[in-house]
A and B are shown apart, each in its own frame.
Chain A
Amino acid sequence: MSDLEAYRTNASAWCESMVAAFGKAARKGLTVEEDLALGRRYQKAKFDAGYAGINWPTEYGGQGLGHIEKITFEAEEMKHGFPNVYFGISLGMPVPVLMQFGADKEFVKERVVKALKGEEIWCQLFSEPSGGTDLAGLRTRAETDGNGWKINGQKVWTSWAQYSDYGVIVVRTDPTVAKHKGLTYFWVDMKAPGVTVRPIKLAGGDSHVNEVFFDDVKISDDHRMSPVGGGFSVALATLMIERYVATDSAGFGPHLDLFVDLAKDLKLNGRPAIEDGRIRQQIARNYAMRAGLDSINRRARLMMQAGMTPGPEGSLNKLVAVRSRQKLSELALDLQGTDAFLFDEHASPKDDWASSWINAPTGRIAGGSDETLLNTIAERILGLPQDHRPDKGIPFNQIPV
Chain B
Amino acid sequence: MSILYDEGQQAIATESRRAIEARISKDDLLPLLQTTGKYHEAFWTTAKEQGWTALALPEAYGGLALGLVELGLIAHQAGRTLSGAPFLTSSFGAAKAIELYGSDAQKERWLPGLASGEAIGTIAFASGPDALPAQPTATWAADRLNVHANGVSGGLFADVAIVFASTGDKPALVIADLSGVARTAVDSFDNSRCIADLVFSGTPAELVATGDDARTAALHVLALQAVVTAHEQTGGAEALMEIARDYAITRKAFGQPIGAFQSIKHRIAELYGFVELARANAIHAAASEGSSDFITAAAAARLSATEAYDTAARDCVQIHGGIGVTWEIGLHLHMRRARSLALEQGSSFFWEDILVDRLAGDVA
Centre residue among A263, A283, A374, A381 by max chain B CB count within 10 A:
A374
Smallest beta-carbon distance A334→chain B, Å: 18
Chain A contact residues: helix, strand, loop or mixed: helix
A281 within 8 A of B: yes
- In-complex Cβ contact of A382 among B245, B262, B301 (8 A): B245
Q: Are A387 and B260 in contact (CB under 8 A)?
A: yes
18 additional A-B pairs beyond A283-B356, A374-B265, beta carbons within 8 Å, are A280-B356, A283-B360, A288-B301, A291-B281, A295-B284, A296-B277, A298-B284, A299-B3, A303-B4, A313-B280, A316-B273, A316-B276, A375-B266, A378-B266, A382-B241, A382-B268, A382-B272, A388-B260
Q: Which residues of B contact A386 (CB under 8 A)?
A: 260
Smallest beta-carbon distance B241→chain A, Å: 8
Q: Contact residue range for chain B?
A: 35 or more
Complex alpha-carbon distance, A266 and B256, angstroms: 54
Complex alpha-carbon distance, A280 and B349, angstroms: 10
A287-B300, A288-B355 given as contacts; is B277 within 8 A of A320 (CB)? Answer: yes
Centre residue among A292, A374, A385 by max chain B CB count within 10 A:
A292
Q: Which residues of A contact B303 (CB under 8 A)?
A: 284-285, 288
Q: Contact residue range for chain A?
A: 35 or more
Q: How many A-B residue pairs have CB under 8 A?
A: 131
- In-complex Cβ contact of A292 among B256, B265, B270, B280 (8 A): B280
Smallest beta-carbon distance A200→chain B, Å: 28
Smallest beta-carbon distance B194→chain A, Å: 30
Nearest-CB residue, chain A, relative to B304: A288
Chain B contact residues: helix, strand, loop or mixed: helix
A-B contact pairs, 13 of them (CB 8 A): A284-B352, A288-B300, A288-B301, A293-B277, A298-B284, A302-B3, A306-B4, A375-B269, A378-B266, A383-B245, A383-B249, A384-B269, A386-B260
Q: Which residues of A contact B268 (CB under 8 A)?
A: 378, 382, 384
B217 within 8 A of A: no
A45 within 8 A of B: no
Q: Are A384 and B300 in contact (CB under 8 A)?
A: no
Q: Which residues of A contact B280 (CB under 8 A)?
A: 292-293, 295-296, 299, 313
Complex alpha-carbon distance, A384 and B280, angstroms: 23
Nearest-CB residue, chain B, relative to A261: B360
A358 within 8 A of B: no
Q: What 1/0 mask marks residues of chain B from 247 to 278 whose CB sits below 8 Å from any chain A CB?
A: 01100000011011010011011101100111
Q: Are B359 and A287 in contact (CB under 8 A)?
A: yes
Q: Are A388 and B256 in contact (CB under 8 A)?
A: yes
Nearest-CB residue, chain B, relative to A259: B359
Q: What 1/0 mask marks residues of chain A from 261 to 293 whose CB sits below 8 Å from any chain B CB?
A: 001100000000010000011011101110111
B157 within 8 A of A: no
- In-complex Cβ contact of B245 among A289, A374, A375, A384 (8 A): A384
Q: Are A375 and B3 in contact (CB under 8 A)?
A: no
Q: What 1/0 mask marks residues of chain A from 112 to 133 whose CB sits below 8 Å from any chain B CB?
A: 0000000000000000000000
B283 within 8 A of A: yes
A333 within 8 A of B: no
